[in-house]
Amino acid sequence: MDNFDSRKLALQGLLGEPLLPTCWRSRPRSFVALMALYESNHRRLGALAGELRSVEGFHRSRVQGDAELELRVTEKSPYTTMLQLTYVFSDNGSVMNAPDMEIRVYHDARLTEAHSLADTHEHPLLHGWRQYRGFDLDQRWARNVMLNKWLEYCLECGHGFTRLRVSL
């Protein structure tokens, strides 16, 4: 089976995502809903990067019509992996990374959490996400909804790290 077939199978796994048992039982912005969001993030990131437990090093994805996407493993342990996921924007000779998100993957639980965003963003569309303040649960909710939608967008654009195993 080639990489395209495995990515296609991973995307098919996302089709049943709205039927996850926790989705219908949880209130929006509740802890249970947040865990369902983490599960959704895990499925989407897996469709983008393949087997998450085995991802190592640095990877790039380039598709026509979208910015270059970079994934870097920053820390690995038997049960978790820390990743940095970012777009690389080039404009008039300058390079900007945004949203420069740190992601924690919990392998045994099959959950993926947007752990943090860069402290500041120069990209105007990302300013609103940093202005959102509130309780810890609300901050986690906002970061992880952003990650979920971003992963969905990346998959729709055709990004995928399983096709471009570029390691440094």
> For 138-151, how does the pLDDT look when each residue is reduced to its tens digit (9 = 90+)?
888 888 999 999 99
Output the six-digit token pair for 35.
Answer: 């865990």
- Report which of 148, 160, 161 is spatially closest to residue 17, judged by C-alpha positions: 148
Q: What pLDDT was estimated at residue 137?
A: 78
In whole angstroms, give the CA distance from residue 101 to residue 114: 7
Helix axes 136-157, 31-49, angle to 10 degrees: 30
Q: What pLDDT was estimated at residue 1?
A: 44
Q: Are 57 and 167 in contact (CB under 8 A)?
A: yes
Q: Which residue has the higher pLDDT, 33 or 136?
A: 33
pLDDT band at 24 (very low <50, low <70, confident <90, very high): very low
pLDDT at 100 over 90: no
Q: Which residue has the higher pLDDT, 158 or 10?
A: 158
Q: What pLDDT was estimated at residue 120?
A: 52
Cβ-Cβ contacts under 8 Å for 60 (sequence gap 6 or more): 68, 69, 70, 71, 161, 164, 166
pLDDT at 101 over 70: yes
Which residue type is seen at 22?
A: T
When pLDDT is averaged across residues 31-46 and rounded to a whole number, the result is: 93
Whole-model pTM: value is: 0.74
Whether the bond into 99 is cis, omega within 30 of 0: yes
Q: Which residue has the higher pLDDT, 94 or 105?
A: 105
Q: pLDDT for 48-90, tens place per residue?
A: 999 999 999 999 999 998 889 999 999 999 999 999 999 888 7
